[in-house]
Chain A
C-alpha cells in the first residue's frame, strides 16, 4: 500500500489533471475527487432521509391517521434515523476529512488512496441495499434505528437480513475510512507540523477515527449476533434459548454512545477553525481543546447505560452511569467557554460560516443542557422515550453535526470551487434553517414533558397544537435545504473568483494553495515553522 505513495512522490514529476468522463469518478484515488463524491453522496442521503422526516411530520401534522399506516410510519422513523446517521452525517465528515486533512497537514493525498476509493464505493451499494428493503414484501426495517431485539430478530420483517448486510458494508466503509485518516495524520504531516500544531479539525478527526475503529466492529458484532439468532438457531438475544434481550442493548449502546461523539467531534474541530477566522483572533485554549476532546472520547465509553435507565439496572449501576454521564458536561463546558472566549474582544464579522458556527455553539449548548437533564436518572424515568429525548438529540445533531457541516461547506466552498458563494443567499439559507429548525424541535421539549412518547404515528389532542407547529417548522427546514443545493450549484458554475485566502482572519495551510485547489497539491511538502 505504501507503494502508492511512492508512485505519487517520484513516478510523476509533472502535474497531471483528472481523467475525463465517468471513469474519473469510478476509479479515482484523488482525495479531492473522493471528498467531493462523499459530500455529494451525503447530501443526497440528507435529502432522502429528510424526505422520510417530511412523511413523519406530515402524518403528525394533526391527530388521527391520515397519510400513512402505522406499519409504514415505523419504517419511516427507522429509515430516517439510519440514513441520517450512517448516510448523511458520517459520510459528510469523511468527505470533509478527505478534502481538508491533506490540505491542512501539507500532505499530497490520503495515505491509502486505493482503499479510499473502495471505502467510498461501498456506501452507495450499502444504501441501495438498505433503501431497496422498503419495496420488499413485509416492508423495510421497522424496529427503530436502535433495532432492539427481539423486535428486530424474532419479530422482524423478512428484509432484516438485507438491513444487517447493509450495516456490515457501512461498517467496513467507516473502518477503512478511519484507518486511512489515522495513517494520513500520523504519517503524512509536513515537516515541522507537530501534533500540537495541527488544526483542531485534524485533531478531532484523529480521535474520531480511533473511536470508529473501537466501536464500528462492535456494531458489526451485534448485527452478526442478530444474523445468527435469525438464521442459525443461536440465542444471543432470545430468552427462550437462554439469551437476554437486554444484552442487545448493552452491546448496541457500547457502540451507540461513542457513535454520538463520532457525529459531533469533527464538527467541534471545524467550528474551532471558523470562529477564530471570523473573530480575527487565535483560538482560545488550543491545548485544553485537545485534552477536552480526548476526555469526551474516553468518557463516551463508560456512559452507555444511561440510555437504559428504565430497563432495570441495579441502583449502583444507575448511580455510576449517572455520575459518569454528568461528568461529560465538564469537558463539553470547557469547549463552549473556549469558543466564547475566542469571540471575546475579537473583531467579529458574520459571514454565513460564522452565522452557522455561532448558531452551532448556542443551540448545541441547549442540546447539552437537555442532555444534562436526561443524565439525572430519576428525572430520566419521566423523560425516557418521550419527545423530550427526540428534542434533545435533534438539538445536538441538527445544529451540532448538520450546522457544523454547513459552516464547513460555506467556509471551504471558495477553496473547492474557486468561486465565492452568494453571501445574501447563504445568509437567507442560514436564517430559514435557523428558524425552521427551532420551530420544528423546540416544541418537542414541551410535548415530551407533557407526556407524548416517541415513535408514535398518532397522539392525544392535547399534543395537537405543538405538533402542528413542529411540522410547519420541519417543512420550512426541509424546503430550505433544496435552496442550499441551488446555492452550491450556483457557486460551482460561477461567481466572484475566490482568492487563495478569501477570509482575512483564516489560518492554516489550506489557504496557501490557490483557489480552486489544484488537482494535486503539496507534491513537495511545505515547511511548517
Chain B
C-alpha cells in the first residue's frame, strides 16, 4: 500500500479539511486559453450551485429544526401560492440564461476552425495511440511504459504510474496545433486535461480539436472511452518544448528513421535479436499474450508451445506481419519496424521453453515486404 498511514490521513483530512498533495479536489486550470476559460466556467457554475444549495438547504434545515412536532408546532395548511410558484420558475430560468452566455462564448471558441501551424493525426488503437505529423514524414506509436511488475504490485510504483509512455507526442509551445482524431478499431477518446481537449476517436470518421499551449512541460492524460480490456492502460503523454527544441527534435526523428534503415541491414545474432525481441514483446504483445506467453484463452491464444510459434517460420512471420483478420491480432507489418518484427518473432520462438533455435533477420522481413510489393 502506498499510504501506510491512510487511516491517520483520513482522520486528519476529516478533522482539518487539509488538502495534501494527493487529495486534489478540483480541476486544474490548465495551460491553454481554452482550458482556463473552461476552468473559470466550471468555477462560476460551481459557486452558483453552492449559493442555491445554501439557500434551499438552509430553508430545509430551518424547518427541520424549528418546525418539528416536538416543539409543539401546529401544522399550517397552505398548499399553494401562485406568485411564489411563478417566481421560482422565472428566477431559475434567468440564472440559467446568465450561465448560458459565457458557456456559449467558450464553446464557439473551442470550435474555431481558423488556420493551424501544425496538424497531428491521432489514431486510437487497442490499446495505444499513434501520432502522425502530417506533411512531416514522422509517425510513431505511443505505448504504455509502466513496467508490468509495477502493475502486478511486484515493484514499487513510480510517480507517473500508468501515465507514462515510451514515446510521447512532442509539440512546440505557442503554436496552434490541430488534432485530427480517428481510430482503427473501436471508439477511443483522446484527452489531455491541461489543454481541455477531449475528442472521441471513431473508426471511419475524423474529428478535430485544436490547442495552443502556453507553457512548456509534460502533460498527461488518458483514454476516456471504454475500448476493451486495456482501456485503463493507454495513456496520453504530451511533451511541450520551445520552438527551437521542437525543431531539433523533429530533425532527430527524421534522422532516426534513416538509422533504422541502417539497423535493418546489419548482421544480427540470435542473442541480439532475442534481447531486442524481449523488449518489443513486453511493450507490444504482452497485453494479450501475457508475460509468460500463456495468453488469455479463448480471446487471446497462448504462444507458449503453440502451433504457430513452434511451427513453420514463414507462417509465424506471416501472422505477425499481416495479423489475423477478424480477431484482435493486428497487422504489425505496418506498426513495427523490420528490425522489431524480426526480433519479436525470433524471441517468441526462443522463449518460455519454445526452443526452436531458428531466427528471422530484419533482411528477411524486408524481403517479405518487397516480395509483396511487386
A: residues with CB less than 8 A from B are 62-66, 69-71, 74, 137-138, 142-144, 148, 150-151, 154-155, 157, 239-240, 244-246, 279-288, 310-312, 315, 318-319, 322-323, 326-327, 329-330, 333-334, 336-337, 340-350, 358, 361-362, 365-366, 369, 372-373, 376-379, 381-382, 384-386, 445-446, 449-451, 453-466, 468-469, 505
- CA separation between A194 and B2, bound complex, in Å? 63
CB distance from B277 to the nearest CB of A (A): 25
Contact (Cβ within 8 A) B74 A347: yes
- CA separation between A333 and B86, bound complex, in Å? 12
Residues of A within 8 A of B208 (CB): 312
Given A143-B226, A344-B59, answer yes or no on A453-B6 (Cβ-Cβ < 8 Å): no
Given A346-B76, A449-B25, answer yes or no on A459-B200 (Cβ-Cβ < 8 Å): no
Contact (Cβ within 8 A) A71 B229: yes
Contact (Cβ within 8 A) B203 A150: yes
Contact (Cβ within 8 A) A239 B203: yes
Stretch in B93-101, B301-309, B363-371 with 4+ CB within 8 Å of A: B93-101
Contact (Cβ within 8 A) A74 B42: no
- CA separation between A340 and B60, bound complex, in Å? 6
- CA separation between A144 and B224, bound complex, in Å? 13
Contact (Cβ within 8 A) A155 B200: no
CB distance from A240 to the nearest CB of B (A): 7
- CA separation between A329 and B95, bound complex, in Å? 10
CB distance from A391 to the nearest CB of B (A): 12
Q: Is B63 an interface residue (CB 8 A)?
A: yes
Q: Is B227 an interface residue (CB 8 A)?
A: yes
Partner of B80, one of A239, A287, A346, A361: A287
- CA separation between A343 and B92, bound complex, in Å? 21
Residues of A within 8 A of B171 (CB): none
Contact (Cβ within 8 A) B189 A310: yes
Stretch in B65-73, B265-273, B350-358 with 4+ CB within 8 Å of A: B65-73
Given A63-B157, A365-B56, answer yes or no on A451-B221 (Cβ-Cβ < 8 Å): yes
Contact (Cβ within 8 A) A369 B232: no
Partner of A468, one of B6, B38, B89, B228: B6
- CA separation between A151 and B58, bound complex, in Å? 47
Residues of A within 8 A of B296 (CB): 69, 71
CB distance from A124 to the nearest CB of B (A): 29
Partner of A382, one of B42, B46, B159, B231: B42
B: residues with CB less than 8 A from A are 1-3, 6, 9-10, 13, 20-28, 34, 37-38, 41-42, 45-46, 49, 52-53, 56-57, 59-60, 63-64, 67-70, 73-81, 84-85, 88-89, 92-93, 96, 99-100, 103-104, 106-108, 110-111, 126, 150-153, 157, 159-163, 185-187, 189, 191, 193, 196-200, 202-205, 207-208, 221-233, 296, 298-299, 328
- CA separation between A280 and B69, bound complex, in Å? 9
Partner of B191, one of A143, A244, A453, A505: A453
Residue of A nearest to B76 (CB): A345
Residues of A within 8 A of B22 (CB): 461-465
- CA separation between A312 and B150, bound complex, in Å? 36
Residues of B within 8 A of A245 (CB): 187, 202-205
Residue of A nearest to B27 (CB): A449
CB distance from A161 to the nearest CB of B (A): 16
Contact (Cβ within 8 A) A322 B103: yes
- CA separation between A76 and B1, bound complex, in Å? 24
Contact (Cβ within 8 A) B162 A376: no
Contact (Cβ within 8 A) B27 A450: yes
- CA separation between A284 and B187, bound complex, in Å? 48
- CA separation between A428 and B287, bound complex, in Å? 46
Given A322-B107, A460-B160, A461-B159, answer yes or no on A151-B228 (Cβ-Cβ < 8 Å): yes
14 contacts between A and B (CB under 8 A): A62-B2, A239-B205, A240-B204, A245-B187, A246-B202, A281-B76, A282-B77, A345-B63, A346-B73, A376-B41, A382-B198, A385-B189, A449-B25, A466-B23
Given A322-B107, A333-B88, A468-B6, answer yes or no on A347-B205 (Cβ-Cβ < 8 Å): no
- CA separation between A70 and B299, bound complex, in Å? 13
Given A63-B161, A340-B56, A347-B68, answer yes or no on A369-B49 (Cβ-Cβ < 8 Å): yes
Residue of A nearest to B204 (CB): A239
Most A C-beta atoms less than 10 A away, residue of B10, B13, B200, B228: B200
Contact (Cβ within 8 A) A311 B200: yes
Residue of A nearest to B230 (CB): A70
Residues of B within 8 A of A381 (CB): 38, 110, 196-198
- CA separation between A167 and B69, bound complex, in Å? 48
CB distance from B232 to the nearest CB of A (A): 3
Residues of A within 8 A of B199 (CB): 310, 312
Contact (Cβ within 8 A) A458 B233: yes
Contact (Cβ within 8 A) B233 A70: yes
Contact (Cβ within 8 A) A65 B200: no
Residues of B within 8 A of A280 (CB): 69, 75
CB distance from A387 to the nearest CB of B (A): 11
Contact (Cβ within 8 A) A386 B224: yes
CB distance from B207 to the nearest CB of A (A): 4
Residue of A nearest to B162 (CB): A460
Partner of B63, one of A343, A373, A382, A468: A343
Residues of B within 8 A of A282 (CB): 77, 79
Residues of B within 8 A of A142 (CB): 228-229
Contact (Cβ within 8 A) A349 B111: no
Residues of A within 8 A of B9 (CB): 465
- CA separation between A253 and B3, bound complex, in Å? 41
Residues of A within 8 A of B202 (CB): 239, 245-246, 311-312
CB distance from A258 to the nearest CB of B (A): 21
Residues of B within 8 A of A505 (CB): 75
Contact (Cβ within 8 A) A372 B157: no
- CA separation between A459 and B75, bound complex, in Å? 53
- CA separation between A212 and B58, bound complex, in Å? 36
Contact (Cβ within 8 A) A343 B162: no
- CA separation between A340 and B110, bound complex, in Å? 40
Contact (Cβ within 8 A) A281 B77: yes
Partner of B59, one of A66, A71, A157, A340: A340
Partner of B64, one of A69, A144, A358: A358
Contact (Cβ within 8 A) A377 B99: no
- CA separation between A311 and B159, bound complex, in Å? 31
Q: List the 4 closest pairs (A to B, CB-CB), nearest first.
A: A239-B204, A456-B232, A369-B49, A347-B69
Contact (Cβ within 8 A) A319 B231: no
Residues of A within 8 A of B68 (CB): 347-350
- CA separation between A343 and B57, bound complex, in Å? 12
- CA separation between A92 and B364, bound complex, in Å? 65
- CA separation between A212 and B197, bound complex, in Å? 36
CB distance from B366 to the nearest CB of A (A): 30
Residues of B within 8 A of A288 (CB): 80, 85
Partner of B110, one of A341, A350, A365, A378: A378
Residue of B nearest to A389 (CB): B224
- CA separation between A376 and B43, bound complex, in Å? 12
CB distance from A448 to the nearest CB of B (A): 9
Contact (Cβ within 8 A) A464 B2: yes
Contact (Cβ within 8 A) A312 B207: yes
Residues of B within 8 A of A240 (CB): 204
Partner of A285, one of B85, B187, B225: B85
